[in-house]
Amino acid sequence: MQFSIERNRKIARYAILLAISLSIWVLEEFVPRPIPWMKPGLSYVAVLVGMSILGPIMGGSIAISRSLLGSLILGKLLSPSFILSISGSVAASIVMILLFPLKNRLLTPLGISVAGSFSHIAVQIAIAGALFYRMDIVLALLPISTIWAVIAGAIVGIIATVVEKNLLNFYK
Amino acid sequence: MKKYTYIGDAVIIVLVLSLGFSPYWFRAKNATIDKFIIEMNGETFAVIDCDADATIVVPAQLGPIIVEIHDDSAWVKSSSCPLKYCVEMGAISKPHQIIACVPNKVLIKATGNVKKSKLDAILD
């Protein structure tokens, strides 16, 4: 049977996680920030939780759908900031999907999150340099952004660990 | 209770930080400045590596000139000449820059290979 309960459950969970991720993303957009790409990235909590509940590929696609839908809501679709956001999300989800099989053996969600947040910010900076600014100027932002990526990624990873643990206890 | 290993996390954080700070690393590697040459009366008085940390007293004609070298740059701290243009010149840190003290016949040259183009900017 194609529409099994398991499948419907997966779709519903995906929708809930996407909605949570999207609302956090849209709210974060209004938080003032000193450097253009210095977002806390708390919406990745939902992505990380989704990866462990729904599987890595479905979870990773939350990040991409979130960027698409969020830009649509804020009226930024196909603008420069949308291009930066979607490229960062694609990079982060690819890196996190690749690292996900190592989870619980070598990595905790913290490591996956830090790697994801760094790839998000690094790809954003590279794309910004290639398309909109000069590469040497944006590369000067990379060290500061890296420190921020590590801090934000660690916070997101810790929150995701706690949420995941409680959620899995709740379901089983 | 799951047993978490944090080695992978530590590896990732170290990797991320080293990648993030690589622009500084590349810049340090591409720094083309090599040595400072101090010349007095047309002859080489001293050759100092640019990454040395040194204070050099040059016994010039009118009295001593104190040259400081620190962090790939060199400057004249005090001079015995009347107009002090060499002090006002400030620090040099790029190849082919020169500090000259004409009354004392002292030159401080920075050597190295220049890779950068003469263009200020390219508009396309």
Sketch out chain A's domains with CATH numbers: 5-171 (1.10.1760.20)
| Domain contains B5 | no
The pLDDT-based confidence of A39 (bands split at 50, 70, 90) is: confident
Q: Is residue B84 in some structural domain?
A: yes
Domain region containing B107:
33-112
- Chain B residue with the nearest C-alpha to that of A105: B5
**B99 in any annotated domain:** yes
Q: Let me know if residue B117 belongs to a domain.
A: no
- The pLDDT value given to residue B94: 80
pLDDT in tens, A133-151: 777 777 878 888 899 999 9
Reply yes or no on whether the pLDDT at B1 is more than 50.
Answer: no
Mean pLDDT computed over every residue of chain A? 88
> Is B119 domain-assigned?
no
Angle at CA of residue A72, ends A70 and A76, nearest 5°? 95
- The pLDDT assigned to A80 comes to 86
pLDDT at B97: 84
Position B24 in a domain: no
Domain CATH number, residue B103: 2.60.320.10
Interface of A with B (CB under 8 A): 99, 102, 104-108, 110-111, 114-115, 118, 122, 139-140, 142-143, 145-147, 149-150, 154
Inter-chain residue contact B20 with A146, CB threshold 8 Å: yes
Query: Does the distance separating the beta carbons of A140 and B13 come in below 8 Å?
Result: no
Interchain proximity B13–A122, CB inside 8 Å = no
Per-residue pLDDT for B122 more than 60?
A: no
Cβ within 8 Å, pair A150-B13:
yes
Q: What is the pLDDT of residues B94-114, one digit of tens each?
A: 878 888 888 888 888 888 776
Q: pLDDT tier at A131 (50, 70, 90 boundaries)?
A: confident
More confident residue, B31 or A38: A38
With beta carbons less than 8 A apart as the criterion, state whether A49 and A160 touch.
yes
Contact B115, B32 (CB under 8 A): yes
Nearest residue of chain A to residue B1 (CA atoms): A165
Residue B124 has pLDDT above 60, yes or no: no
Percent of chain A with pLDDT over 90: 52
Mean pLDDT on A78-89: 90
Answer whether residue B19 is part of any domain: no
**How close B12 gets to chain A, by Cα (Å)?**
6
Residues of B with CB under 8 A from a CB of A: 2, 4-9, 11-13, 16-17, 19-24
DSSP string for chain A = --S-HHHHHHHHHHHHHHHHHHHHHHHHTTS--SSTT----TTHHHHHHHHHHH-HHHHHHHHHHHHHHHHHHHT-TTSHHHHHHHHHHHHHHHHHHHHGGGBTTTB-HHHHHHHHHHHHHHHHHHHHHHHTS-HHHHHTTHHHHHHHHHHHHHHHHHHHHHHHHHHHHHH-
Tell me which residue of A23, A33, A34, A51 sits closest to A109, measured CA to CA. Answer: A51
Mean residue pLDDT of chain B comes to 80
d(CA B59, nearest CA chain A) in Å: 42
| pLDDT (0 to 100) of residue B63 | 85
- CB contacts of B8 in chain A (<8 Å) are 102, 105-108, 111
Contact call for A114 and B13, based on CB within 8 A? yes
| pLDDT score, position A64 | 93
**Domains identified in chain B, total number:** 1
Residue B118 has pLDDT above 70, yes or no: no
Instruction: Convert the pLDDT of each residue in B49-94 to its tens digit.
Output: 877 888 888 888 888 889 888 888 888 988 888 888 888 888 888 8
Q: Is residue B108 part of a domain?
A: yes
